Structure 1
Amino acid sequence: MTATTYGAGTTTKTAQPFHSVPAVDGLPFIEEAGKVAPKDARQLSKLFFDRLQSLEEGTAAYSYARSTLIEMNMSLVRFSARRFRGRGPEEMEDILQVGTIGLIKAIDRFDLSREVEFTTFAVPYIVGEMKRFFRDTSWAVHVPRRLQELRVELAKARDHLTAVLDAVPTIAELAAYLEITEEDVIEGLVASNGYTAGSIDVPAGGDEGEDAGRSYTDTIGAPDPAMELVEDFHALAPMLGKLDDRERLILQLRFGQEMTQAEIGAELGYSQMHVSRLISRTLAKLRAGMLTEA
């Protein structure tokens, strides 16, 4: 990392990464913020966030601090995008772009007084934007690409045969025209239902009786807030396997059996303070493992 120190009497000349924005007094000038190592980025981010809170929005100083924070933490966007690997290059580019939007939202809303690491605060924002992208642009349900392409071919064939036959073609006629089996036609037609989804607010009952006016929303259960934790638990499982027996036991007693630190200490022959340190150290190890998996 190449930097210029201001106010200390020493200056190292470097090329500015933001040519229209001068370095800010009290902040290091970072030549290539996107290449700062994650460990250094965490320390520098605290400095920049602290300074950002005292700067006036819209000033050159504020823009410099905010832009540097975005570039330094782009590794969080790339890390979050790994769970969507396997997509095409163009789709991955879109994922990184919407992830960057999440990063910017996290930077604008982060407050050092929360006493939480920025990485922990930012990742849910980043992943949330990525998931929203898929929700808004993807099929209503997951459908294999083969069936997505078959849906298009079936739609073209149905339009053509309808014009030629002056009637809606049968499954057999569609199969003969496309030179595929009737089973493939049926599978394609069923899969095409996954392209759009009906609203659950549409009335499901008839015009009379107790179901009149009721929608599907009225018949389903309430959202389970724990569902958002499923993915986190899945990522946490291998980290737990790397803990030693004592660490796993203490976590089991504290969070599984909901014992107090004093009760755990009495059970294992440790002081309450020692149990507190062990729990904090173990949780920090798990948190670091999940954030630095990349």
Structure 2
Amino acid sequence: MSLPSVATSPPLHCGPDMGSAQRRQDLIASHIPMATRVARSFGGRGEDLDDLIQVALLELVKAASKFDPARGVAFAQYAYPCIAGGVKKHFRDNGWSLRVARRTQELHLQTSHAIPALTQLLGRHPTVTDLAAHLHLSEVDAREGVQGGLAYSTRSLNSPVGDSENTEPGLLIGGLDERIESVPDRLLLGVHMAVLPRREQDVLRLRFSADLSQNEIAKRLGISQMQVSRLLARSIDQLRIAMLPH
């Protein structure tokens, strides 16, 4: 499959560091595997995989055109929700797979559109709280909008997404996961973790790499166990939102 022509793409709306069309082309080429992974994660839902990959590549080109490196956000972090959102729009244009309340559909559209813009603005993926404040919604509605994307598939929440057996949608939402390894695509997870505040990175590392208890982490960092619990909940919530197809 040929890469969509960059020469016919919309005019650039990016910062001075993007410089030339060749540099933009290099950025696109280096992220084709990521776009392909996003497309494959939506496979098996009644749409031809080649069509999904084509949509993902077109969204990659558009993301490169709009990307502003001056914001300090990694391109992969910015492009991922843009690509996933474009693929979801492809499904949306062909109808929802499940009978979903119109309110949920509307909330999902709002949150999906807000995530890329807020990512650029904040320099990190927005939390449910960020989305709620930006869209003037309750946190319950914001979370419903984010999770409403699961309705694009008629699969069970126990059906794996992508190639791994440990990427069930049900593992990506709801209660606190015992192991962060249940979140799909470890490469992108590393990108998203890198933009978390240093304290939250430390708490995640001590909890899931060093396998320390919350009390042990609290003693190591000189904070309370309650603070550790809140930091874990907040950081994992951010990672869940970042890794869900928006």
TM-score of the superposed pair, with normalisation by structure 1: 0.35
| Bigger Cα Rg | 1
TM-score of the superposed pair, with normalisation by structure 2: 0.41
